[in-house]
Chain A
Amino acid sequence: MVSKTKMCPSGHVIPAESVTCPICHPGLIKGTEGLNAPSALTRIDFDLEATRAEELDKTLLEEDKPFCGWLAITDGNLSGETFHLYEGRNIIGSSSPCDIQIPDEGIENQHLSIRFSSGKCTLTDHDTDGGTYLNGKRIYRAELKDGDHIRIGKANLRIKIL
């Protein structure tokens, strides 16, 4: 596994994403001497400005949509995984542009969407062959309640609404 670290100009190993070095950073922690960098790590130039620019871009792209609930996968390939659901439309499917990607048998590229708007949560099946099952019944569009069971392909999902 590639460790997500880099080195600050003084040679302290710090997380790749940090813009400040916890050791050099004045006043952060008292009496801590820098830890010498393990020689196995390659030295990466510490480009403060570039890191900041990158992070600013990210902030501009990502809107802070309100958090509305979770979608938990109860079996299948990703069993045990939990995904966050946000206000507006959450697209679920097996392809990468989806907000929630579940690469499992019988799940189409963009299989269904879950929309949170004006206090309601609605599920829409994207006209799939395999279909979407809500609490055991095939549906195309339905309002979701907390704790509802959804089945797509071989994956079973459960929704938790905040």
Chain B
Amino acid sequence: MKSVEIEIGNLTDVGRKRTHNEDYYGFFKTSKEVLAIVADGMGGHASGEIASRMAVEMIHEVYSKERDEKDVLDALKSAFQTTNFTILQKSLEEEALSGMGTTATAFVLKEDQAFIGHMGDSRAYLLRDSMVTQLTRDHSLVERMVSQGLLSRGEADHHPQKNVIYKTLGVNRDDELDLLGPIPVSIDDIFLLCSDGLTNHVTDEEILKAVSKESPQRACENLIHLANQRGGHDNITVQILKMKKPRPLFLSLGDKKRFWLIIGLILLILLVLNGLILIDPGFFKKIPFLSPNKP
């Protein structure tokens, strides 16, 4: 199985209108897999912040545990279910946290395959060959009306109930997540995860333009800047994962490791030469261009 290298950028911003940032993101890397999550919390007081943070941390924790015995999609499913339950229980137990919930969009890269678990209206996009494909479907009332032909895309963008979502983590015990994958990944594919604070202000074309011109981290900064320029009505979170050709093993080592590898190799060569001289003191004389007395 081929593997790809990943270049990552991520950033979150409170926006221009809110006082708290209820978005939360996480990026986790193991030797075999990458897990990236974006969550957009909601609820009174500070509960939205708690819900989104719980979602990112628990999905990661449960996913990692379940992954020992399950495949990626089943582990994602368990992670979302357990997290959904735990947030729900917490909101039932503590009055201050009552009614909190959060969206969550999780991306997994395993070798050259991508997987997505999703609930709510945060989004995952695939940017491939200058095409932008929204991989997730918003669990919003407005989106459902569009897919049923009850509302046009243009009407949906300005609908008063645009923010009403019917699936979140921590609200309904029976809500099921959407699962997607395995998506075969190619070099130069870019996956973008974001909260609706970005997509409410920025178009697909603008995302494509920002991401194809700059490094992932720079693109995150530019996209958030753009959303803020247009009003920044909500918290904004972006994670960009760019698939790259794996570098040769030697180059993929860290600077420190590479330094010691080179030192080690030099010492080894010296040791071998030393050994050869000990065995045969006239060794160098046998090599014409190393011999001091040319015949």
Contacts and interface: CB of A to CB of B under 8 A. Distances in A.
16 contacts: A5-B173, A15-B84, A15-B85, A18-B78, A18-B81, A18-B82, A28-B82, A33-B93, A66-B182, A66-B183, A67-B180, A79-B148, A80-B148, A80-B149, A84-B180, A162-B183
A74 B149 contact: yes
Interface residues of B, number: 39
Contact of A79 (B66, B89, B149, B173): B149
A75 B148 CA distance: 7
Contacts of A74: 149
A82 B149 contact: no
B113 interface: yes
A35 B133 contact: no
A28 B70 contact: no
A96 B114 CA distance: 29
A67 B182 contact: yes
Nearest to B181: A67
A117 to B, nearest CB: 13
Contact of B133 (A17, A23, A33, A160): A160
A143 B182 CA distance: 23
A80 B147 contact: yes
B69 interface: yes
A64 interface: yes
Contacts of B89: 23, 32, 35
A72 B144 CA distance: 12
B155 interface: no
Given A22-B85, A162-B133, A59 B71 contact: yes
